[in-house]
Structure 1
Amino acid sequence: MPQETNMSILVIGSTGKIGRRLIPRLLSSPSTPTLVLPTTKEPSTLLSTVSSLPGYDESRVHVPQGSISDPPFLDALLQKHSVTSVFMAMTGPDELFTTSLVLSALQRSATVKHVVYISAAGDYSVDAIKAGGMQGSDAANVLVKFLVEAKLKYGIAARDDGESADKGKKKTGFSWTVLGPTLFTDNDAMGKQWLMERGVYFQALGGGAGISFVDVEDIALAGVIALEDDGRKWGGKKIIIGGKKAYTGDEVAKLWSDALRKELRLAERDEVEADLAGVIGPGHARMLADMFQEFGERGFAMSEEQYREQVAFLGKEPEEYEQFVQSTAQAWKAE
């Protein structure tokens, strides 16, 4: 019989890159949490996928239809399922708007005790801002990390169900753990057409700074660990998740060139923006192009100390980027 638990986890972003890896791990977790997986689409689509996974138990999985940017819907969801933990993997042009609404709802909740927030590698602290950390940072999905991390650190008190010393009022809020992944290896897979047909590595990472890459499975593993830790050891901390070695954009293009046995070049920023504009819209395309440029010029990696902390947190070494390139290239060539 599975171990009983009172943990009820709301997963925001359950159909995204991280969520698709996180849910199978949570279903097979010995802690047997209840999972709440809201979706704006027809619930049967997500439910059919989840129900085929090992460890699925219909009494533990709920797939309500609705938007997390709808406060009454989210408030009711948290209350109905007595949500104790929240996993937040937010992305998209409205990331700040949606994240702000979610955090507001979580602070109102009487049951939420711990939140795991997916940020990004790097220093987004107030001290970093004062030192010029926002200079040259124009991508909205990067800038939002400064604001959300500051809100978590300075704007939310950890929950205490006992009486506080301040006029006998009960404290509200929750504990949190921030995960800061480096650049996803999955992004490279999305550039398959560029690599195979155009001979171009599509992420414009020019500038000569070092970039670390992370396997999304390692992020999902980190998410499960942070949720099950429930703020006991890793609460109030940010863990950077990614590979130890940092590559320049030219080095990345060379890795793919060698693996595919063809001449490749690194994409230029403007051609990436122009190409993506027709697919995801001009605003989102500008944001991603700015992000690639920032990473290439300022770097997106981790320190030796951060790497050691990550290994202690994960309980293993992270997956290697070069292995991903080799195996992916081999699979593509075999098609």
Structure 2
Amino acid sequence: MALLRDWGLTLGKWVGRPPVRLQQDSGDPEVRRVREAAAAADWATVRTVLEARSESEDRTELLWAVGDTAGVEEWIAPVLEAEPDAPLPRLVAGIRHISWGWEARTGARAKDVSREQFEVFHARLRTAERWLYEVAEQEPGWTSPWYGLQITGRGLQVGQDTARRRFEATVRRDPHHLGAHQQQLQQVCEKWSGSHEEMHAFARESAFGAPGGTSLGQLVAVAHLEHWLALDRGADARYIQRPEVAASLQKAADHSYRHPDFVRRGGWLQVYNTFAMAFSMTGDVASARECFRATEGRVTEFPWYYVNGSDPARAYKQHRAFTGS
């Protein structure tokens, strides 16, 4: 944050640049379809969309489009009663209760969250855990319930050992699952009782332990941004501008989105946004420009809310202006 303030950037006119817009999803048309169906309480369409996307193709984004939709907790209840042995309604209910739980908690710091909010938060997460464990037992090959359990585990503070086992259960089923690795990275962050050293080690091992061309190189950039975020003003800028930080970002980029096997699918847009932010903060204009141009003005909330929680698109614009892209 200090680095951005020190640049003294202001918003200008964006002549010749793609218009900036906050991207709510990866651009997959099925995400919008399933979100609209969830808002309309149209279980038949929700089920059709979800069943058409196999677990091996990672239907995480589709599930969260449903889970983040208000009111799902109401209409999914009679579906559960009508289909008592079906795993998919339980998976949807579990994912919805995770999102609904975090809505109760809000994004405030723990000291600013009331006891009543925490009670509702934990109750909803415990309900989610019950359903997700049932799904995991019914469908042992599915990744999604274990991914959901990674998130409930952090909210319920199950501890690092249990959290690690849940992560390992997810990646046994999908070794390069980006969301699972992102969740585990958060788990080992200093702010969640981990450490900077553990976080960076996990990011490197995950990124470079995977074949070239996966999205896991993003973890290296996220780890540097998390480290930067944890530091006081002045120390944050000194850290992010260290030559070894820039060098590690280049290495991760080469192994990830610059690799010839990289495919723009799933979370690819967030990968470019993350590297765009990280490179611009190091002062590497050319590399940041490369990423900004690839996004074509499409902004993902993460990681830009690290700079401006209320207006991620504004943060994107400011950094993009610095690169002249």
Structure 2-normalised TM-score?
0.31
